[in-house]
Structure formats: structure tokens, C-alpha cells
Chain A
């Protein structure tokens, strides 16, 4: 599904929005539509047959929405404790991509949803993804339009706001994005940095990858391992937040044993640099380096 999402020649995703009736959701549906997203249905449990919201056909369940509109992706804008049941309903209806933008989903629910999406052969971006975008083609979630522009870079980010600042400065320097995937800052999540490597390795329009990471978790280290196992064939840059933070997260002895000493900023920098990634702790030098490198390798 990721491959299709970022392939400009593929059929555009047919998107339904679960929780489409809230004030914020309606505002964002308008922005997403303006960004080119093919939104075909809204889902709200109280919808009656024939209902529309701002011209969008509404359905009471994902199954009805999929049956009527052939939606193949779903954006969930629902409260934290509703994410798991709503996402399960979407999977049962057969969608192949689920994007959740809710902050506050319980970890145990995230674990269940991770296993459910894998069993269904689907892709889940979240729990608290700020969204994803293929500029000029589609946007699902909250990524700010001012930072979105078609271009040669892929942005993969844990943090929302830090990636906005990163994207904005790179666009200011003349470098927009092929795709921008906000994987979210959650410990248990649907798609991790390492999961993105295969789709972008074979993606010719992407000339370089910018990773926006931060302390905590082992995602950066796992990405480094994936890059070492199968090189991505293009430069990878990373900005890591939390430079002045104390080392190590205390997750008890069990956490220390399971994570094998990973998770600190030092461990992330060592792993990423060992995999050939250019690591930065400050935005300005990263933007300068990318600008210089991109000019040098202009196709």
C-alpha cells in the first residue's frame, strides 16, 4: 500500500474519513481535499442513509462506506478509546491503509491494532501520526500546507512539530518532498522507520531521505540495522531532538534487557552514523548540508 501511495502513476487512494462530523474534522477534510486527496466517504455512527456533510456522502459504518464507494484507505479522527474498535471495523471492511491521528491511544490497544493490521495484510500509520502527504497528490492528516511542496526529499518523522519546522526550512531552501510520512511518537506503532526502507529504496523520484527522530525507543537503531542489511542507495540525513537530555530511559531491568542498551541519543547517533546516515542535532547545519549535497548531485 505504501508503494501505491507514493507512486505518482498509480490510481489515487479512495479515502474515507471516520469521525468526519466534528468541527475540526470538517475543516481538515476541506484542506485535505484542496491538497488533492480523493475523499469519497465519511463515517459517523449516527449517519442515516443519504446524509451528506459538506457534500461528502456519510455512512454509519466502514462496511457500508466501502460497499458504496470502494474506499481503500481510512483516516481516523476519533477519540483515543475509540481508535481500536473503529480501526478494526475499517480492517474488517477491507481497507488496505489506516492512518490514525489521535493522541492518547492506550498502548495495549495499539498492540492489538498492530497485530490486527498485520493479520489483515494492511498498513497502519499511527497511533498519533500527524499525518502523511504526497505533495501535489494527497494529504491525510494535519501536515501544514505551508511546509508541503513537491520535490526530491522523503521526510520520515516521529515528531509532528519538529518535522514541520524541518520541512518548512527545506522548502525555503528549495527542496520539497516526494512523500512525507509521520509515523508518530508512540512506543508501539503501526509503521516504524525501518518499515519504510523497502518502499523508498525502489522509489526513483526520492533522491534523499530526511529522518526526524528523538530520544526514546529503539526506532533509530532499528532503522540503522535495516539500512545496513539492505542499503537504500540514496543519502539519508537525520535530525535528533533531545541532545541535552539525560541518558537512558528507565524501563526497569526488564526494559533494559529487552532493548539491549538502545534508546539513548548516543546509541542512536552511533548506530545511524555506522549505517552511513549524516546525523545532526541542529536544523540549520542540516539544511545547509542537504542544500550543498543536492546541488552537487543534481540529476
Chain B
């Protein structure tokens, strides 16, 4: 096992990856995004990646920008991007970054990059518009972190179906709407962006800012790239990135290697959840939180896709054993695909494989094969069958109080 995702920042950090169930989008860290885009011809400032705990002066000249590599937007406003004039400030600045938490995320890596000066900042963004199934292309002659304030006035927007010809036509429209000095840079950067967006199965690609110099040359100061996790099987570069840097993409790696979602939402939580279905699992955590209960994890075990193997259940139960304050486990399976008789056998096999799990287990199951499942589990020790979810949660509350 490659380790479960623990973001001990707040309950529901996992939900940041919405829209989830059907499809999830993975934010590619700036350094990796720039590496992927530079290979496709995008000019980016010279830069290198370092562990924040061990920064080294790069072999290109100062001034530098130290940039926290965290999987959220808004780093700059949160103090995660710092300009330094020379190497004297390097160690102290890196140390200060190492103490930051940006929207809950600790800073573990930084990209040190050659600073760009005397340039105006322009904006280019490509994003999927889910409602229309089109790609929106946006650009503004004024970029930077305050770009959203330009919405409605300074931002030009065109949309296209996800095909190179249509998107390039939209890019032409976009360029035509901009001042001529900006238009050339947007056109050139946009061509690379359109190709990369399609080629990489991106859901979002922003170049913000693009630094535009007085001589008309330009360079991408920041790259925000989100990739579609569902496209991973046909994206060798994305797959290679996960292999090369698993610690930086723990959630995506876990999902790929185990085929389901398990996220620790509260390391101090008392209730282990073995549940299927993101919607009902999320609602269950809602209801428990409202009652003052403390669920330890979110879980969408995809009980319909276990293919007769108890591996997912064993992995989940083992993880629950590491919860220091675990009082009980709730199993809730209400599924359309799952054969509950088969699931019951797998649950018993998993319990036998993880004997160190000693807390009481409440099991609620509804669906196909329910009678056989109840017969199988009815004979098991340390396990209560409760057919109604509200009553099962009430029983869990009593176990936490005991």
C-alpha cells in the first residue's frame, strides 16, 4: 500500500477535488506543469525544484522567486511566492515558507525560478464549461492575481468544442479583441496552450501571468494545469509523473493503485466508515457531524467493483486500525450493482485477515442478495446487523458514548 491520504486540515478537504464521482480533476503542481508545457514549446523562466528543508542556490543568476508547490490556487496572496534579490536571503526565506500552511496544505517543495522584471502581465485561460460541454478561452490585457476583478469588463471570452480547429478559431477571435501588442503574445501562447490542453486531457490551463516585455517577447510566469483523472489510462506522461513523484500526488496514486477512494477527514475521529457511493457517504458524514459525532474517514469502496477480492476491505480495515481514537466501525452498503451475499463473505474474510481490529462493527446493508448476506453475517461475532440507517447511526452514537 502506498499510504492513505491524510490532510489533517479540516473535514472534507477531499471534496476540493470536486466535481468528483464521475470524474475528478488533478491539479498538477506548477513545477511539473511547467515541465510538461516547456516540452511543448512554452517559454518559462529557468527554474528548479527543491525540498523546502534543503534549498540550494540554483546555478542561474539571482534575483530569484521562491514559489511554494502546493495543490491549490491563491498561493501568491497567501505568501507562498517570495522574491529574493540574492542568495543571502535564501535560507531564511525557505525556512519561512516551510512554516506556512497554504489553505491547509504544508509547504514541502519549492520551485526556485529566475525573476522576471520590467514586464506587463497578461492573462490567458482555457477551462471546460461543464454546462455547455465546450471549452472557454479567456484572455485579458491585464493579468495577475486580481484577474477575477476584470470579469465582465477586461476579460474577453470565446468558446469552442474541444477540437483543435474550433479552438484555434476561438483563439483568433480572442486575439482580435485585444490590443495588438498583447494579441501577438496571446496568439502565440494560445497555440501552445490549445495543443497541450487537448493533448493532455486537461480540464483547466491558465497562463497567469504571461510576462510581456517591451520588445514583444513573452514568457509564462505561472502555469496552472488540471488534468482529468479519468484520462490517466491514455496519458503516459501523466502516468509517468505519478510514478516519479507519488508523494506529491498521493490521492491520485491511491485511487489508481487501489481503485477506490479513502480519505482521512479527521485523524482524531472515532467512527470508521466502510461505505459505498460518494453521495450517500458524504451525506452520512453530514448527518453524523450534525449530531456531534466524529467520523474518521470518507470512503467510497465501490462495492460493485471488488471482483470477488477482499483486498479493498482489508486495506480499509487496516487503515482504520491506525486511527488512535477509533471506537466503532459502521459498514453501510446500499448498492445497485453489489451482490450482498458475496460482499458478506468478503467482509468476513477481511475481518479474519485483520484480527487487530477489535472495536464493535455495525453493519447496515440493503440490496441484492440481502437475505443470504444477513444469514452469513448473523452468525458472526462482534458485529451487529441493523437494517435501518438512522437506527444504525443511533447505535454508533451509543457506542461512542459508552
Contact = CB atoms under 8 A, between A and B. Distances in A.
Do A and B belong to a common assembly?
A: yes
Interface of A: 24, 27-28, 31, 80-81, 103-108, 110-112, 114-115, 127-128, 130-131, 141-146, 157-165, 168, 184-189, 192, 212, 214-219, 222, 239, 241-246, 249-258, 281-284
B234 A185 contact: no
Contacts of B234: 81, 106
Given A144-B336, A188-B133, A257-B157, A159 B21 contact: yes
B289 interface: yes
B184 interface: no
B15 A131 contact: no
A258 B136 contact: yes
Given A105-B230, A108-B162, A144-B334, A252 B131 contact: no
A209 B157 CA distance: 36
B151 to A, nearest CB: 5
A115 B389 CA distance: 41
B15 A246 contact: yes
Interface stretch (B53-61, B85-93, B279-287): B279-287
Contacts of B389: 165
A85 to B, nearest CB: 13
A257 B336 contact: no
Interface of B: 10-13, 15-16, 18-23, 25, 27, 72-74, 123, 125-131, 133-136, 138, 147-148, 151, 155, 157, 161-162, 198, 201, 203-204, 206, 208, 224, 226, 228, 230-231, 233-234, 276-283, 285-287, 289-290, 302, 304, 334-337, 339, 366-368, 370, 389-390
Contacts of B336: 130-131, 141-144, 160, 164
B283 A187 contact: no
Contact of A253 (B123, B131, B278): B123
B15 A245 contact: yes
B22 A246 contact: no
Nearest to B137: A254
A250 B25 CA distance: 10
A251 B127 CA distance: 8
A222 B13 CA distance: 26
Contact of B286 (A188, A243, A249): A243
Nearest to A118: B133
A24 B337 contact: yes
A212 B10 CA distance: 25
Nearest to A185: B21
Contacts of B138: 254, 257-258
Contacts of B280: 159, 161-162, 164-165, 241
Nearest to A194: B131
Contacts of A28: 337
Contact of B12 (A80, A115, A162, A245): A245
Interface of B is mostly: mixed
Given A144-B336, A161-B277, A185-B22, A241 B123 contact: no
Contacts of A255: 127, 204
Given A161-B276, A185-B279, A188-B130, 12 more contacts: A103-B22, A104-B22, A105-B23, A106-B234, A110-B133, A128-B23, A130-B336, A162-B279, A214-B279, A241-B282, A244-B290, A251-B127
Nearest to B234: A81
A108 B228 contact: yes
A251 B281 CA distance: 24
B279 A161 contact: yes
Contacts of A258: 127, 129, 136, 138, 157
B12 A187 contact: no
A246 B286 contact: no
Nearest to A104: B230
Contacts of B224: 252
B19 A244 contact: no
B204 A106 contact: no
5 contacts: A144-B367, A187-B23, A244-B290, A257-B151, A282-B290
A108 B231 contact: yes
Nearest to B71: A250
A144 B368 contact: yes
Contacts of B19: 185-187, 216-217, 249
A288 to B, nearest CB: 12
B322 to A, nearest CB: 23
A169 B337 CA distance: 19
B342 to A, nearest CB: 11
A246 B103 CA distance: 11
Contact of A111 (B72, B161, B208, B367): B161
A81 B203 CA distance: 17
Given A245-B12, A256-B148, A108 B161 contact: no
Given A103-B21, A246-B10, A187 B128 contact: yes
B279 A146 contact: no
Contacts of A256: 148, 151
A107 B128 contact: yes
